[in-house]
Amino acid sequence: MAKVLLIILDGVPWANWRRLFGNLEGWVASGEARVWKMRSVLPSTSGTCYASIHTGVPPQVHGIWGNATRRRLEFPDLFSEATRAGLTTGAVTHSFWSEFFNRYPFDIVRDIEYDEPGGTITHGRFHTMTGDSGYNQMTPADVDLFATLTRLCVVKGIDYGILHTCTLDSMGHRFFHDCEEMDDACYRMDEALANFLPQWRAAGYEVIVTADHGQDARGHHGGATEEQRDFALYYFGAGQGPAPDVVLDQLGLAPTILGRLGVAVPETMTVAGFLG
Ligand SMILES: [Zn+2]
C-alpha cells in the first residue's frame, strides 16, 4: 500500500507541460517518472473538474455545471473513502475543495484551517483568492503551499494529500500562453516543485503531478477543444501504467489513487483505474 500526494496545477495545457517543465521532463527522461496525456470531463471548468477528480463521477451525474454551482457533494470521494479505511488525509487547496468534500458554504474563519480526526478531510489548509481579478490574482506563493503540504506529511503523517494551486490558471487568463510572462511562471513553478518532490519521494510518497483542465490560446477553458481539455499527468511511483500514447480519462484518477492507497473503490466510480 502506498502513500500518495496529488499535485494539481490548475489550468496548465498539455503543450505548456511538455515545453516548459524541464525538471519534470528531466525525470521522465531519467526514468524516475512517467507521463501521459489526460483529458478533462466536460465542461472543462475548474469546479466541475475538482468534483470529478475527487469523486470519479461525471458532471452529468454530480451536477456541478460551473464554478458558481457549489454544494457539499453526496458521492463517495477520495477523502471519504480513505478516512473510512482508517487513513489520514490532508488538503492544501482552494476553498472549493473544502466546500465540495467537507462543509458548504465556506466559513472563512472556521474553515480556513482545520484538524478534524474522524472527518473526511483530516487536516485542511485552505485559501479563497477573494477579490481576484485580471489585475490581481490573489494567489498564494506556491512555495508556501508546497511547504504547508510537506508540513502535513512530516507532522501529521498524512497518507493521502492533495495540493491545488491556481497560479498558472490565473496567469493564463491574464497573459495567455505565447508570452514571456507564462514562460517565466512555468519555469518558476517547475523549480519550486522540484525542490520539494525529492523530499516527498524520500518520505515514501508516490506523487502525481497534473492539472484539472487545459487552456486555449486566449486562456479560455470550459469548452470541448483538446487545448481546453488536455493536460499532462506525471507519475512518480512503483505502479504499472498503460502505453505512453494512451489518453487517460480524468474519471479514472480517483479509482487509481484509491487503488494505490489500498482502499476499496466504491460503485459510483465506474471508470477503471490506470495504474496497477
Ligand atoms: Zn481550473
Question: What pLDDT is attached to residue 267?
Answer: 98
Work out the pLDDT band at 244, boundaries 50, 70, 90. very high
Mean pLDDT in residue range 220-248: 98
What phi, psi does 189 have (nearest 5°)? -65, -45
Confidence of residue 238 (pLDDT cuts 50, 70, 90): very high
d(CA 86, ligand 1 centre) in Å: 30
Q: Phi/psi at 56 (nearest 5 deg)?
A: 70, 15
CA of 181 to the centre of ligand 1 (A): 19
Mean pLDDT of 104-121: 97
Whole-number Å distance, alpha carbon 246 to ligand 1 midpoint, is 23
pLDDT (mean) for 100-116: 98
Q: What is the mean pLDDT of residues 122-149?
A: 97
pLDDT for the residue numbered 166 = 98
Residue 69 binned pLDDT confidence (cut-offs 50, 70, 90)? very high
User: At 160, is the pLDDT very low, low, confident or very high (cuts 50, 70, 90)?
Assistant: very high
First to last CA, the chain: 12
Query: Which triple of cell numbers denotes residue 158?
Result: 498524512
Alpha carbons 243 and 257: distance in angstroms, whole number:
18
Query: How far away, in angstroms, is 173 Cα from ligand 1 center?
Result: 11
Question: Among 57, 159, 45, which residue's Cα sits nearest to residue 96?
Answer: 45
What angle (nearest 5°) sits at the alpha carbon of residue 188, between those of residues 253 and 238? Answer: 35
The pLDDT score that the predictor gives to residue 173 is 97
Task: Taking residues 238-250, report their average pLDDT.
Answer: 98
pTM above 0.95, yes or no: yes
**Per-residue pLDDT band at 159 (split at 50, 70, 90):** very high
Q: How far is the CA of 8 from the centre of ligand 1 (A)?
A: 9
